[in-house]
Structure 1
């Protein structure tokens, strides 16, 4: 397929997403099933246009003066693919599968607009209702951080130290352009793709099959490192999901002690079994039923709560979720977080830690949630997060927002990671 056919297909997918209010991954999968002639390169390029259009929906639409799928599809190519309006029309001309060329009116609109002159919420590519939340989170840097949340993401990996060293994995993945991560001690980064490129299929690598590494955002790796799990500890990963942090904690503990992996939605735990076998994490017990956790009450050195949240910190990877999110969903997540914390605290032993993590940048889900918890429960106190950060990541104070009481925040523009929040509370009574 030429660029015109790929753009037309992307616009078709974007129309499906708008019409049916469905995740982008589902719409792209269904398009591929009904257009089996499209090769892997075509599907990757179409996916790039779709995700670029969703990440840059406001700024792409602003350039064209509209937010239709056609406008955002064209705008994405202008913003992310190095195209000009003239070069794009030239590339589409004569392609019978291409959408109609940019009209004279559209050409004039594009020529008369510079993104630097756009309103702040457009440059931040943020829904209007999220603007106050971003301002509260980032202050004067909110536009820069919003734009970073709308950028293409890197591909991050975590070395499994039970099986390999980072140097060994880097040597194995040398052809992919992999480099050591900036902060995470066992992190590896493959830079964001450009244009119609695609990240290497690292899960097809022999090193992955041998359990040498896992795919995990650097921010998630940092959160696991900050939990500071030690060999011999008893750890409960209360919202374990597919087990990424359980695996990281187990490796940090050198397979000594015990990690209990639990999730209220037990189907989410399904991938952890294959991951454990491949990576040789032998000190993880999967506990699917809530009642089976009762013997752990009051005995855990660390209870880690990677809470369900809006996922606003992951918008660069899941940009469609940004436009589906509502204030009502935020309220629902806050209620869930509060209820989970109130239960999870019961498993912490005296002197142990309750570790609260989200992949959100919204203060109401982060420091606000911790503040409310501390008001309800007087037996917990925040650790010194500035000292914790300096101990784990010395010399990188500028890479995180450090609250003396209410935690550590990571973000794309500041940390180069997804947006994450971390807070450790010690049980003092």
Structure 2
């Protein structure tokens, strides 16, 4: 692919992500993968260049919206960003487009003047939502979460996420996994967490295919540990999804007891079944209707649907999918799930609420409202839920005693909120 065709491909992909966002459809990485699956002629350098420009637009969309006069179309954003990133001259860019039928339309003199002005705008004078790329309406919520650390935390959310792995003790030891992955490094916090800096398709590696490791952000691994799941327990994962935390809990329980996995989307449970077989997780029971949810659980785990603000490093398009109206819908659903889960916890058991969101509306606000509705529950100190095998929570995880907030800048993990709620005996 020539340069113009690469830029046009990125423009088309930004538009496709926008359409998917409006329709609640596929994520950007799936759209990118499907795009090139249909274009086998594109080489690895083409795919990398197009993908880099697509994700650069998604990550810097707040800045581009602020810089651009008038409508920030996919074409204007992609071309402007190409100018900013490469210092490209627009006249020269037009010349490189000539003779390429797959390139964007030539840039007019009027458009070139506007784009030059936009490229020269002083980003240091921009509001925080533009300089750190998030919707302006979220400003108050993020300021409430981070206070004086706002800029530092937002900068970390604009970076790229590492590849974290959880060693599956149902298949082998950490040393077994490291023999297969000599480039991986051990976590300084968790005994079964590894980090891989080398670029590779881990899903095709023998360590993954053999069930020795699972792809799981260290923040998600910490959240799984805080369930306090142990051998012989009865545990319900009420929003199991693809099963990442279900599998982590199965390993914590050493294939002893029962884990009930439920999700309103049956297709997600179907994806969990082969993962569980690969991981040798033999105690998972699949609950396929709400009417069959088991009562009297030692633990009910609620990894609720949420805004995904804690995963912006991995999914930058999520910044632009969320609206105030959608956030209201999500908080109502979270309240409903909390109420449903509460009724399934046995006296003396625990309800573990977690979300990969950094918005207080989806975290402590939901817990405060829940405790008003359910006086038979009270917060449990998260430090008391830490498994003895891990030697106690690291000091770096200090937070409110009633809940834990993880963030990229502070903990080098995805953003998470976790609260453990104890039901009275």
Same fold (TM over 0.5): yes
Asked if the contact 2:225–2:386 (Cα under 8 Å) also holds between the matched residues in 1, the reply is no
Say whether 1:172 aligns with 2:180: yes
Inter-partner Cα distance in structure 2 for 1:172 and 1:38:
32
CA deviations over 1:95-126 (Å, ceiling 9, x no partner): 6455558946534543453x444321112211
**Structure-2 residue corresponding to 1:397:** 395
Alignment of 1:200-239 (within 5 A): 200-239=200-239
Inter-partner Cα distance in structure 2 for 1:361 and 1:279:
30
What is the deviation of 1:78? 6.9
Inter-partner Cα distance in structure 2 for 1:172 and 1:26:
28
Inter-partner Cα distance in structure 2 for 1:354 and 1:94:
60
What is the deviation of 1:127? 0.3
Inter-partner Cα distance in structure 1 for 2:156 and 2:361:
21
Structure 1 144/63 Cα, relative in aligned 2: closer, same or farther at 3 Å?
farther
What is the deviation of 1:372? 0.7
Structure 1 19/281 Cα, relative in aligned 2: closer, same or farther at 3 Å?
closer
User: Mind listing any 5+ residue stretches in structure 1 that lack a counterpart?
Assistant: 194-198
What is the deviation of 1:87? 8.5
**Structure-2 residue corresponding to 1:376:** 373
What is the deviation of 1:357? 0.6
Decide which moves more: 417-426 or 264-273.
Answer: 264-273
User: Mind listing any 5+ residue stretches in structure 2 that lack a counterpart?
Assistant: none
Inter-partner Cα distance in structure 2 for 1:190 and 1:52:
23
**Structure-2 residue corresponding to 1:70:** 75
**Structure-1 residue corresponding to 2:313:** 316
Inter-partner Cα distance in structure 1 for 2:395 and 2:231:
27
Inter-partner Cα distance in structure 2 for 1:398 and 1:60:
36
What is the deviation of 1:332? 1.1
What is the Cα-based RMSD across aligned positions, in Å?
2.9
Inter-partner Cα distance in structure 2 for 1:260 and 1:305:
12
Tell me, what secondary structure is at the counterpart of 1:360?
coil
Inter-partner Cα distance in structure 1 for 2:89 and 2:188:
37
Say whether 1:122 aligns with 2:126: no
Give aligned pairs, total. 412
**Structure-1 residue corresponding to 2:191:** 185
Tell me, what secondary structure is at the counterpart of 1:32?
helix
**Structure-2 residue corresponding to 1:14:** 14
Inter-partner Cα distance in structure 1 for 2:342 and 2:83:
50
TM normalised by structure 1 equals 0.86
Decide which moves more: 368-377 or 67-76.
Answer: 67-76
Inter-partner Cα distance in structure 2 for 1:248 and 1:15:
37
What is the deviation of 1:86? 4.1
**Structure-2 residue corresponding to 1:273:** 273
**Structure-2 residue corresponding to 1:39:** 43
What is the deviation of 1:287? 1.5
